[in-house]
């Protein structure tokens, strides 16, 4: 893996000067992913969402690689077309170089509206890496719940009130859905652990074939925490086992990091405005449910790793 | 009871209008500039015993309201350009299966992602012809906050009566504008609910003659057995390939509109009696047009305004008559010109028709329209 010194020397292919919020995690994902891609040329697509909106405000762009913003639901389908055309052009001898194909999408464009396009691309087996920057709600349109929003989280369409204490449902486990496609490489990473993410991007690209990385991306606006804590919020999600760092390589599960001592989920929840109401005594049962769910998911993941 | 005066946004008035009309189900997906409609209904509907569901995309949004409507709920979704495009297939399904619902499109500038936070009126032909196949269309277009409320109520009434999806064509300008309105009291506006069948379930035909407009039809699960499909079907709802039944179904759909034009057509007029120069304008653009007409009158120019609040069906006969009487008709639209072709189609008197257009995401101004009036006056 490239070390920090080497990465720093590479020069950003996703540059500063964009319009993201202070402390935005999505732009960190894009910058680190492109840095990890190394010297080989990259083509990137991006679904509609925060990352696209903040990085390409006319007449500026933060992308120093060929970049296509497709429709909301089509990032994976568009990169499929680019990659398939590239294969054909390469066969015909028009293109000589090795090119890497990366698709980006938020949780809205990946878990929800873009799931069909993503599943199709993974199943067809394009040589591409799909990176989901998962900030757990539709932040671009003003914080509506998505199927990645965790239970108990308040959003504008799952508000905390008398009837419901934030989102009622548990979040969908997209990483497992994509792993079920039986593709060469699937992983979970997090903003706040650059070496884990860099390693995984390098590995995904080196494997060839379809690959998927879900990156938990703290969002200071939608989650409600001071902007300087983005990396810390990511790491805490890992230390509480809420977001395990693991990979599925050729069907084999591996946990990449096990906390020395699993922290209680409240340590992560209580630093965020979106969970503030869970501090109230009447919501104690929800906290217990959330903790139970995390422990169960961790246990199940452990079983998969020992198989 | 004292008057209830509100300083509402167009989207807010639309959501409140839906509640007034008795909407009990909303399914949809957030998209700028329509999101407030969903957000407000997410708060209002559960309190009134209704149901709000945020779906995974706009296809699912319209899919779920069609299901809810078939089950008997008064249903609505709201969206903007990209989402409206995704809804096109199921819009046609709603027409074919004759399922009442309201689809709100708060228009933004396109094509594609376009200008999410800026307005336009460029979905008007998509509203008419966006889904494939011959089909009926009813679309209403408010010019004010009060109309946003009232036309939402009317959209529900027409959906119930004509047994089909009705489109409320808002735009970003009206959707996000705030102005004062007096909230209609309960009972002040008519609320139409379609009759339920009383016949013996053995006799029931879901698409019986006479049930297409104002007639009875049953909800799923109410004791009547029928089939619902997007395939061309017979009176029971079962797919058919019989030529006479196909003809019957297609005529039935067309006649919903064609035999009720007088009832469906609705226009507002200002200074039309002696007008030499008439501005045809609707939605947000009509607000600037209205101002331009008043300024023209102050300058001694005989200008008038023809403003349809029902866009589809198009007010053919009225436009033809007004064209005969006036010297020039200006068509002020926030697009590259769409309804201007409809006006031309109605022009039996070779009256000059002049488009006045703006399509950079900003509101068309009274000054631009006034200038066009003055040029036409020369």
Buried b (16+ CB within 10 A) or exposed e, B270-308: bbbeebbbbbbbbbbbbbbbbbbbbbbeeeebbbbbbbb
CA gap B342, B129 in Å, rounded: 13
Instruction: Give the end-to-end CA distance of chain A in Å, rounded to a whole number.
Output: 27
C-alpha–C-alpha distance, residues B147 and B169, integer Å: 12
Residue B143: pLDDT band with limits 50, 70, 90 = very high
Chain B residues whose beta carbon lies within 8 Å of the beta carbon of residue A48: 82, 113
- Provide the β-strand partners of residue A255: A246
E strand or H helix that includes residue A266: helix A266-269
Residue A271 has pLDDT above 80, yes or no: yes
Predicted local confidence at residue B256, as pLDDT: 97
Q: Looking at the predicted structure, is the pLDDT value of residue A307 above 80?
A: no
Where in the sequence of chain B do the CATH 3.40.50.920 domains occur?
A: 268-377
Which of A113, A140, A146, A166 best probes binding to B when mutated, by most B CB atoms within 10 angstroms?
A113
Q: What angle in degrees, to the nearest 10, is found between the helix axes of A194-207 and A26-36?
A: 50
Q: B30 and A147 in contact by Cβ < 8 A? A: no
List chain B residues with CB under 8 Å of A157. 30, 38-39, 42, 52, 54
Backbone torsions φ then ψ of A196, nearest 5 degrees: -60, -45
Contact between B235 and B205 (Cβ < 8 Å): yes
Total count of residues recorded for chain A: 307
- Determine the 3-state secondary structure of B28 from DSSP: strand
Pairing of strands B303-308, B277-281: parallel
In the stretch 27-46 of chain B, residues with CB closer than 8 A to chain A read 29-32, 35, 38-39, 42-43, 46
User: Distance, in angstroms, between A50 CA and closest chain B CA?
Assistant: 13
Q: Which CATH code fits B268-377?
A: 3.40.50.920
DSSP A220-237: IIIII--GGGHHHHHHHH
Q: Check pLDDT > 90 for residue A281.
A: yes
Please give the mean pLDDT across all residues of chain B. 97
Q: Identify the CA nearest to B22 among candidates B57, B72, B62, B59.
A: B72
Q: What is the pLDDT of residue A162?
A: 86
Inform me whether the C-beta atom of residue B115 falls under 8 Å from chain A C-beta atoms. Answer: no
Residue B173 has pLDDT above 80, yes or no: yes
Angle between helices B10-21 and B35-47 (to 10 degrees): 30
Identify the pLDDT of residue B8. 98
Query: Does the distance separating the beta carbons of A141 and B35 come in below 8 Å?
Result: yes
Q: Do A113 and B56 touch (CB under 8 A)?
A: yes
Check whether the bond before B109 is cis (ω within 30° of 0): no
Distance CA A227, CA A245 (A): 23
8 A C-beta contact, residue A274 and residue A222: yes
Q: Is residue B1 predicted with pLDDT exceeding 80?
A: no
Going by the DSSP 8-state scheme, the letter that residue A263 receives in this structure is: P
Helix ranges, B163-213 (H): 172-176
Chain B residue with the nearest C-alpha to that of A139: B30
Rounded to 5°, the CA angle A138-A139-A141 comes to: 75
Beta carbon pairs, A and B, within 8 Å: 45
Q: If pLDDT is split at 50, 70 and 90, which confidence band does B118 have? A: very high
- Read off the pLDDT of residues B309-353 as tens digits, 9 standing for 90 and up: 999 999 999 999 999 999 999 999 999 999 999 999 999 999 999
List, by residue range, all CATH 3.40.50.970 domains of chain B. 4-183
| CA–CA distance, A107 with B83 (Å, rounded to integer) | 18
Distance CA B268, CA B273 (A): 13
Closest by Cα among A22, A34, A202 to A102: A34
- What's the CA gap between A292 and A290, in Å, rounded? 5
pLDDT confidence of B2, banded at 50, 70, 90?
Answer: confident
Counting residues of chain B whose pLDDT is more than 90, the rounded percentage is 98
Q: How far is CA B141 from CA A296, B24, B104, B282, in A?
A: 53, 23, 10, 7
pTM attached to this predicted model: 0.87
Query: For residue A92, what are the contacts with CB-CB under 8 A and spacing of at least 6?
Result: none
Residue A40 in contact with residue A202, Cβ under 8 Å?
A: no
Nearest Cβ partner for A157 among B31, B42, B113: B42
- pLDDT single digits (tens) B43-79: 999 999 999 999 999 999 999 999 999 999 999 999 9
Q: State the complex-level ipTM.
A: 0.74
- Residue partners of A5: CB distance under 8 A and separation at least 6: none
Find out if CATH 3.40.50.970 is the number for domain B4-183: yes
A188-202 pLDDT, tens digit per residue, is 999 999 999 999 999
CB contact (8 A) between residue A145 and residue B54 = yes
Interface membership of A116 toward B (CB under 8 Å): no
Chain B residues within an 8 Å CB radius of A69: 113
User: How far, in whole angstroms, is CA B81 from its chain's centroid?
Assistant: 14
Q: A142 — contact with chain B (CB < 8 Å)?
A: yes
Q: Is 70 exceeded by the pLDDT of residue A257?
A: yes
């Amino acid at each position: 893996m490239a070390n920090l010194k080497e990465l720093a020397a590479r020069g950003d292919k996703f540059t500063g000067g964009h319009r993201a919020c202070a402390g935005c995690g999505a732009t960190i994902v894009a910058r680190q992913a492109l840095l990890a891609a190394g010297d080989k040329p990259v083509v990137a697509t991006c679904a509609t969402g925060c990352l696209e909106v903040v990085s390409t405000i006319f007449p500026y762009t933060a992308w120093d690689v060929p970049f296509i913003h497709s429709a909301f639901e089509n990032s994976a389908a568009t990169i499929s077309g680019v990659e398939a055309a590239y294969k054909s052009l390469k066969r015909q001898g028009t293109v000589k170089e090795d090119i890497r194909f990366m698709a980006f999408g938020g949780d809205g464009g990946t878990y929800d509206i873009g799931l069909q396009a993503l599943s199709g691309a993974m199943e067809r087996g394009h040589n591409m890496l799909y990176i989901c920057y998962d900030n757990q709600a539709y932040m671009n349109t003003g914080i509506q719940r998505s199927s990645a929003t965790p239970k108990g989280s308040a959003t504008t369409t799952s508000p905390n009130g008398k009837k419901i204490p934030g989102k009622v449902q548990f979040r969908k486990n997209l990483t497992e859905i994509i792993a079920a496609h039986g593709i060469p490489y699937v992983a979970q990473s997090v903003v706040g652990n650059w070496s884990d993410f860099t390693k995984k991007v390098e590995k995904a690209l080196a494997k060839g074939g379809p690959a998927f990385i879900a990156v938990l991306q703290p969002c200071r606006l939608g989650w409600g925490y001071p902007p300087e804590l983005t990396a810390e919020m990511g790491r805490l999600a890992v230390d509480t086992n809420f977001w395990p760092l693991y990979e599925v390589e050729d069907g084999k599960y591996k946990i990449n990091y096990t906390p020395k001592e699993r922290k209680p989920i409240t340590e992560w929840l209580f630093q965020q405005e979106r969970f503030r109401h869970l501090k109230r005594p009447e919501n104690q049962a929800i906290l217990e449910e959330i903790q139970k769910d995390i422990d169960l998911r961790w246990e199940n993941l452990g079983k998969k790793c020992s198989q | 009871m004292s008057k209830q005066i509100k300083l509402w946004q167009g989207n807010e008035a639309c959501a409140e209008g839906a509640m007034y009309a008795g909407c009990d189900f909303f399914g949809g997906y957030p998209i700028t500039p329509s999101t407030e409609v969903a957000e407000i209904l997410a708060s209002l509907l559960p309190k009134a015993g209704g149901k709000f569901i945020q779906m995974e995309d706009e296809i699912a949004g319209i899919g779920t309201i069609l299901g809810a409507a078939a089950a008997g709920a008064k249903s609505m979704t709201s969206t903007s350009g990209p989402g409206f495009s995704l809804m096109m297939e199921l819009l046609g399904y709603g027409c074919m299966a004759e399922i009442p619902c309201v689809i709100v499109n708060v228009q933004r500038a396109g094509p594609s992602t376009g200008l999410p936070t800026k307005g336009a009126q460029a979905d008007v032909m998509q509203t008419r012809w966006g889904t494939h196949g011959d089909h009926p269309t009813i679309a209403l277009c408010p010019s004010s906050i009060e109309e946003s409320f009232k036309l939402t109520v009317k959209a529900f009434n027409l959906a119930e009566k004509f047994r089909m999806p009705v489109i409320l064509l808002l735009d970003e300008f009206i959707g996000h504008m705030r102005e004062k309105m007096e909230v209609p009291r309960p009972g002040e506006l008519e609320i139409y609910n379609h009759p339920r069948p009383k016949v013996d379930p053995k006799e029931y035909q879901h698409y019986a003659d006479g049930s297409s407009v104002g007639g009875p039809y049953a909800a799923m699960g109410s004791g009547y057995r029928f089939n619902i499909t997007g395939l061309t079907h017979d009176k029971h709802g079962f797919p058919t390939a019989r030529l006479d039944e196909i003809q019957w179904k297609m005529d039935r759909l067309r006649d919903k509109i064609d035999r009720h034009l007088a009832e469906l057509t609705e226009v507002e007029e200002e200074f039309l009696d002696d007008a030499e120069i008439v501005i045809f304008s609707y939605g947000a653009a009509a607000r600037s047009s209205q101002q331009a007409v008043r300024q023209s009158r102050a300058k001694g120019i005989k200008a008038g305004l023809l403003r349809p609040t029902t866009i589809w069906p198009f007010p053919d006969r009225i436009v033809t008559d007004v064209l005969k009487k006036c010297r020039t008709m200006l068509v002020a639209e926030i697009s590259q010109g769409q309804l201007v072709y409809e006006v031309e189609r109605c022009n039996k008197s070779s009256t000059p028709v002049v488009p006045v257009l703006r399509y950079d995401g900003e509101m068309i101004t009274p000054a631009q329209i006034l200038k066009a009036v003055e040029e036409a006056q020369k």
